[in-house]
Amino acid sequence: MNEIDKYIIPQKDAPIDRKAEIKTVADNAIDAPEPLSERERRCRQTMRDFYEGLRTMLGAAPIRHEKSEWTETMRSIQAWKMTPEQRTFRRTLLYKHENTKPTFAWRKWRWPSIIIINVLFVVSYWLDVQLVEGALTASRFVGFHMADVNSSLQVVLAYKELLINLMIGLVTVMFLWWLVGGRSFCSWACPYHLLSELAEMVHLKLAAKGWALDIPLDRRMRTVLYVIFAILAFVTGYTVFETISPVGIVSRALIYGGGAALLWVGFLLLIEIFLVRRFWCRYACPIGLTYGFVGATSPVKIQWDATKCLHEGNCRAVCLVPHVLEMTIKNRAHKSVMEAGPDCTRCAMCLEACLPGALSMKVKGIGDLL
Amino acid sequence: MAVKLQNMVAKKPLSGRKQMERRSFLLSLLLGTGTVAAALAGYVPILSGWVKRLRPPGALEEPEFLASCIKCGQCVQVCPVEAIKLADAGDGFGNGVPFIDARTQACDFSCDAVQCVLACPTGALTHEIDKKEQVRMGLAVLARPEACLARQGQGFKGVARGADFKGLHRYIAVDRWNPVRIADQPYDLELCDLCVRECPIKDAIRLIPMSDDPADKRRTPLVEEACVGCGMCEMICPVDPAAIVIEERKTWQQAAVDSFISGEAV
């Protein structure tokens, strides 16, 4: 049986579906007993999707929506997708994709971005031009304070005092990363991310030959580590996490020269190559979670379009955080247009991996007007 | 559902999926615990007192300093003599925290206005000071009096730390603005007074006679209250190892207690 043939074609206007829909509407109405207006219903659904995104980021398994919870549009798209012409059309597409390799053109922007940001720190120090002084944990960009959100959090928890310069830097950095959204810091600025991506390439080569394992971990681990490190900073009065933060270690090593601390980074990379693919970035890093919260409400989104999706799964195969693309799995989306969750690093690999172009980067507000 | 029921009814071996989940959970537990343990290993150098570092000017008390320092190295970047370095993993929680190795390169306040303090974004180097005289890093102590050239009445001729020494110092007579290599500045002194001569703080150290005999050339360095513990004397001291060193974070109060215990006058 063909992949596409597995679709269940819902009966249009089937009485059972109607009943179910009315039931969900009633279930959603917590305060008001009478049925909600369409606008209100959509508003609540958006809020629920937002909390669902945060929950998933913290490690919960994504919710599977019943067909009865799907929107009317989603259902009609599904029905349309089942028409014989569409099936044949998509089958030819799938066949074509089988022999097409995606180009990772965004990487040509992203890798230079990571390199340029980190090289600016190095060059600024070595040439003494005072462009970006400091390291990724805290710096001055042409005199303006910048501070890493997670490092600041550690300092504030350990030192138990709000430091004005730090707050200025913190708010600036939070705003900048909020603008681009998600965990953009990770894939567009973090030097460890680049090392980890290279390690991932090695891992995939080795895994294909059976020389490396890829054991998925429990995603709740990152949330637990986050809480533990926050408590440790507060209780011990030391910035405990900074001791092992590979981001700080690599950034300082680039600027001031490396030392024994790089052994820890090497150890992490070895785990990522041989045991758990993208161990640190996917399952452990509290910095990533911090930036996930910062960018959760950003106007920049990765948008998924049900009409174009062939459910091939290529996007999730390249994704650092595949749980943000759960809606691309067949019969998982309850809306025809959905956004990737806050854990998304905006690396844009999925955009290119998706050959039918169902995923796109959208800027809300201004983007809608344009 | 059926699988679940089967498992409940008969104790059948776990399904592949369940087995995977268990393996995931156990490995997560192991790696998560390992990560926390690796971070907490940073406690060892702190508690065992391995880490005795001369911190840059204005550093808060050690625990507060480690807590408030964001490990960015902005202090490192502004120092004109590059005296400040960042500690490595061996310092535990002090990983990435700035320190000064005075013998290799001391802070000689070439910057005039405690630049490192101004650069610090968190106030770990307290913003409450703005003059070099207010700094308290430690105190100079004559650790090896027997090696001190002045105490033997000896002079000093040549370059203070050998021709290969890379240390910098600002000689105002040579260049008001730029520090130069100590190795390029030979001395010819009848009585070695390098620690006094190159001290950047007024009235912090002086040489006093060792006897009432005017013919006795011997002098001993006396560290005064103004000493900020910058370590310039330790760097310039021509004997090896240095006769005079900095005891980091030492205060006059503590010095008084120490001398009381040892029965010496301060």
Mutate to test the interface with A, among B18, B31, B86, B127 (most CBs of A within 10 A): B31
> pLDDT at position B8, please?
52
| Structural domain span for residue B163 | 50-250
- B35 and A256: CB-CB below 8 Å? no
CA of A125, closest CA in chain B: separation in Å? 6
Task: Please count the residue pairs, one from chain A and one from chain B, whose beta carbons lie less than 8 angstroms apart.
Answer: 155
Omega cis (within 30) before B179: no
**Average pLDDT across chain B, whole number:** 91
> pLDDT at position A40, please?
86
Mutate to test the interface with A, among B35, B115, B116, B128 (most CBs of A within 10 A): B35
Closest CB to B28 among A140, A218, A232: A218
Chain A CB within 8 Å of residue B225 CB: no
Can you give chain A as a three-state secondary structure string?
CCCHHHCCCCCCCCHHHHHHHHHHHHHHCCCCCCCCCHHHHHHHHHHHHHHHHHHHHCCCCCCCCCHHHCCHHHHHHHHHHCCHHHHHHHHHHHHHHHCCCCCCCCHHHHHHHHHHHHHHHHHHHHCCCCCEEEECCEEEECCEEEECHHHHHHHHHHHCCCCHHHHHHHHHHHHHHHHHCCCHHHHHCCHHHHHHHHHHHHHHHHHHCCCCCCCCCCCHHHHHHHHHHHHHHHHHCCCHHHHHCHHHHHHHHHHHCCCCHHHHHHHHHHHHHHCCCCHHHHHHCHHHHHHHHHCCCCCEEEEEECCCCCCCCHHHHHCCCHHHHHHHCCCCCCCCEEECCCCCCCCCHHHHHCCCCCEEEEECCHHHHC
Chain A CB within 8 Å of residue B92 CB: yes
> pLDDT at position A368, please?
65
Token duo for residue B168: 């910098």
Give the C-alpha distances (Å, rounded to integers) separating A310 from A74, A76, A98, B11. Answer: 15, 16, 12, 41
Task: Give the B window 95-134 contacts with A, CB below 8 Å.
Answer: 95-96, 119, 121-123
Amino acid at residue number B149: L
Q: What is the mean pLDDT of residues B65-79?
A: 96
Look at A102-106, A209-213, A237-241, B120-124 and tell me which has the smallest mean pLDDT: A102-106
Considering only CB atoms, which chain B residues are within 8 Å of A284? 31-32, 35
Q: Are B153 and B191 in contact (CB under 8 A)?
A: yes
Residue A3 has pLDDT above 70, yes or no: no
CA of B131, closest CA in chain A: separation in Å? 21
Closest CB to A155 among B25, B68, B89: B68
Structural domain includes residue B233: yes
Give the model confidence (pLDDT) of B216-266 as tens digits: 999 999 999 999 999 999 999 999 999 999 999 999 988 888 888 887 654
Chain A CB within 8 Å of residue B88 CB: yes
CA of B4, closest CA in chain A: separation in Å? 19
> What is the rounded CA–CA span in Å between residue A114 and residue A187?
8
> pLDDT at position A9, please?
42
Considering only CB atoms, which chain B residues are within 8 Å of A239? 66-67, 69-71, 93
> pLDDT at position A103, please?
80
- B64 and A159: CB-CB below 8 Å? yes
Classify each residue of A12-48 as buried b or exposed e, where b means 16 or more C-beta atoms within 10 Å of its C-beta.
Answer: eeeeebeebbeebeeebeeeeeeebeeeebeeebeee
Residue of B99, B75, B102 whose CA lies nearest to B87 = B99
> What is the rounded CA–CA span in Å between residue A355 and residue B101?
58
Structural domain includes residue B179: yes
> pLDDT at position A151, please?
96
> pLDDT at position A78, please?
87
Q: What is the mean pLDDT of residues B11-32?
A: 87
- A125 and B95: CB-CB below 8 Å? no
- pTM reported for the whole predicted model: 0.88
Q: What are phi and psi of A44, to 5 degrees?
A: -65, -40
**Domain boundaries in chain A?**
4-100+299-369, 107-294
Collapsing DSSP to helix, strand or coil, B99 comes out as strand
Collapsing DSSP to helix, strand or coil, B63 comes out as helix
> What is the rounded CA–CA span in Å between residue B231 and residue A308?
70
Dmax over CA atoms of chain A, in Å, equals: 74
Q: What are phi and psi of B190, to 5 degrees?
A: -70, -35
Chain A CB within 8 Å of residue B216 CB: no
Look at A38-52, A105-119, A241-255 and tell me which has the smallest mean pLDDT: A38-52
Structural domains of chain B, count: 1
> pLDDT at position A364, please?
83
> pLDDT at position A191, please?
97
Residue A32 has pLDDT above 90, yes or no: no
Mutate to test the interface with A, among B65, B116, B122 (most CBs of A within 10 A): B122
- B68 and A158: CB-CB below 8 Å? yes
Q: How confident is the model at residue A14 (pLDDT cuts 50, 70, 90)?
A: very low
CA of A336, closest CA in chain B: separation in Å? 30
Q: Are A134 and A248 in contact (CB under 8 A)?
A: no
Assign 3-state DSSP to chain B and report helix, strand, coil percentages, each to 5.
35, 15, 50
| A115-118 long-range contacts, CB within 8 A, separation 24+ | A115/A194, A117/A188, A117/A189, A118/A189, A118/A191, A118/A251, A118/A254
Give the model confidence (pLDDT) of A311-349 as tens digits: 989 999 999 999 999 999 988 899 899 999 999 999 999
- Chain A, nearest residue to B98 by Cα: A256
> pLDDT at position B66, please?
95
Collapsing DSSP to helix, strand or coil, B157 comes out as strand
Tell me, rounded to whole angstroms, the distance of Cα A206 from its chain centroid.
25
- Higher confidence at residue A195 or residue A367? A195
CA of B197, closest CA in chain A: separation in Å? 31
Residues near A120 by Cβ (< 8 Å), separated by ≥ 6? Answer: A131, A132
> What is the rounded CA–CA span in Å between residue B221 and residue B244?
9
CA of B132, closest CA in chain A: separation in Å? 22
Closest CB to A224 among B32, B43, B78: B32
- A145 and B92: CB-CB below 8 Å? no
- A215 and B23: CB-CB below 8 Å? yes
Q: Are A209 and A202 in contact (CB under 8 A)?
A: no
Instruction: Return the bridge partners of B100, or none.
Output: B54, B84
Q: What is the mean pLDDT of residues A255-268?
A: 96
- B42 and A238: CB-CB below 8 Å? yes
> What is the rounded CA–CA span in Å between residue B90 and residue A342?
36
Tell the residue number behind the tokens 């009966």, with chain if given: A11
Residue of A159, A168, A111, A160 whose CA lies nearest to A140 = A168
Count of residues in chain A: 370
- A165 and B96: CB-CB below 8 Å? no
